[in-house]
Amino acid sequence: MSQAPSGRAVPASEWSRPPGPALSGAVEPVESDELVIAGRSYGSRLLVGTGKFAAHEVMRDSLLASGAEIVTVALRRVDLDRAGEGDVLDFVPPGMTLLPNTSGAADAAEALRLARLGRAATGTGLVKLEVTPDPRTLAPDPIETLRAAELMVADGFTVLPYCSADPVLARRLEEAGCATVMPLGSWIGSNRGLRTRDAIEAIVAGAGVPVIVDAGLGVPSDAAEAMEIGAAAVLVNTAIAVAADPVRMARAFALATVAGRLGHLAGQAGTGTATAASASSPLTGFLGALGTPANGNGRVAG
């Protein structure tokens, strides 16, 4: 500590101290901390959807900026009158794992049919199971989702189900053999954030498979919040694709996901009350008062 002779503050440049470690602006994960899904490891805990980008090139650049290793695609009937249109797969950077979804499925049978087409298209058995018969909310149908999961597991798929934020359903999906559970943060595309926080915490507490928060995360801090409460990963599409600058937003979500994960691993400090502070500076050893009696009584510290 620097003394203050004659009341003069000694500048840091006059101190003698050993050089410390260089501070860098590094924000990459500082430890090996891989996401493991069905025995396969991934370095990124941010999964990204490919929908809604204004152009394939923007999508490609955003995927690169996100650092994602798993990206979702959908399957749709080819419009035979426009057979030559650009192929989205040409713009997914090589090395990224494709996760075909079953969007558009209204029941388990349709979902299984789409999953099989997705497997034929991508050559992987990974499938993002989604059964969303309600066009208004696109809420996942829990009964058909569980039924589809059972059929898909029996057919050899690695199943990542989009599901309601329901700890009982999550447990049932895990018991059915799903590789993850993917409860919603809020409605698909709504950007309303982690409205299901308490339920997600309960799911995390009971899950033996990775919990991936899918849908509704609207800003990077939503992703950080999900990771802080113990989500294994997040899946983001609309918030990136529809941002004014999708590439920059992809990077922001990547950093927030890492930040939230590190915050979770670091162990959260306890939360205080609304009516009292807890001083973070010592409450003893105050300076002698200047021009007032030096008794220190009644002082506070911030």
Partner 1 sequence: MVDRPPPASAPAPTPPTGPARAQIVVNGAARVVADGQPLPDLLAELGLRPGSVVVERNGVAITPSELSGIRLADGDTLEIVRAVAGG
Strand partners, 163: 183
Q: Give buried/exposed letters for 7-17 (b at 16+ CB in 10 A, else e).
A: eeeeeeeeeee
x-marked contacts with partner 1 along 68-87 as a string, rule CB under 8 A: ----xxxxxxx-x--xx--x
Strand partners, 128: 101, 160
Q: Active-site residue 128, yes or no?
A: yes
269, 260 contact by CB (below 8 A): no
Note whether 108 binds partner 1 by CB under 8 A: no
Residue identified by tokens 């996760």 is 99
Query: Measured from the CB atom, is 56 or 171 closer to partner 1?
Result: 56
Considering 128, 147, 251, 264, which one is annotated as catalytic?
A: 128
Give the distance from CA 271 to its chain's centroid. Answer: 23
Cα 218 to Cα 44, 187, 245, distances in angstroms = 19, 11, 14
Note whether 61 binds partner 1 by CB under 8 A: no
Among 64, 88, 199, 265, binds partner 1 (CB under 8 A): 88
Q: Record the tokens describing residue 130, joined without a space.
A: 């989604």
| The one-letter amino acid at 90 | D
Note whether 52 binds partner 1 by CB under 8 A: yes
Note whether 155 binds partner 1 by CB under 8 A: no
Query: Measured from the CB atom, is 167 or 220 closer to partner 1?
Result: 220
Note whether 50 binds partner 1 by CB under 8 A: yes
Instruction: Say if residue 238 carries a ligand binding annotation.
Output: yes
Query: Measured from the CB atom, is 125 or 263 closer to partner 1?
Result: 125
x-marked contacts with partner 1 along 255-294 as a string, rule CB under 8 A: ----------------------------------------
289, 296 contact by CB (below 8 A): yes
d(CA 91, CA 86): 9
Residue ranges in 182-241 that form contacts with partner 1 under rule CB under 8 A: 188-189, 215, 235, 237-238
d(CA 277, CA 246): 40
Burial (CB count <10 Å: 0-12, 13-18, 19+), residue 237: buried
Minimum distance of partner 1 from residue 191's CB (angstroms): 13
Binding residues for 1-deoxy-D-xylulose 5-phosphate, by number, are 189, 215-216, 237-238
Residues noted as catalytic: 128
Q: Which residues bind partner 1 (CB under 8 A)?
A: 49-53, 56, 59, 72-78, 80, 83-84, 87-89, 98, 100-101, 103-105, 109-110, 113-114, 116-123, 188-189, 215, 235, 237-238
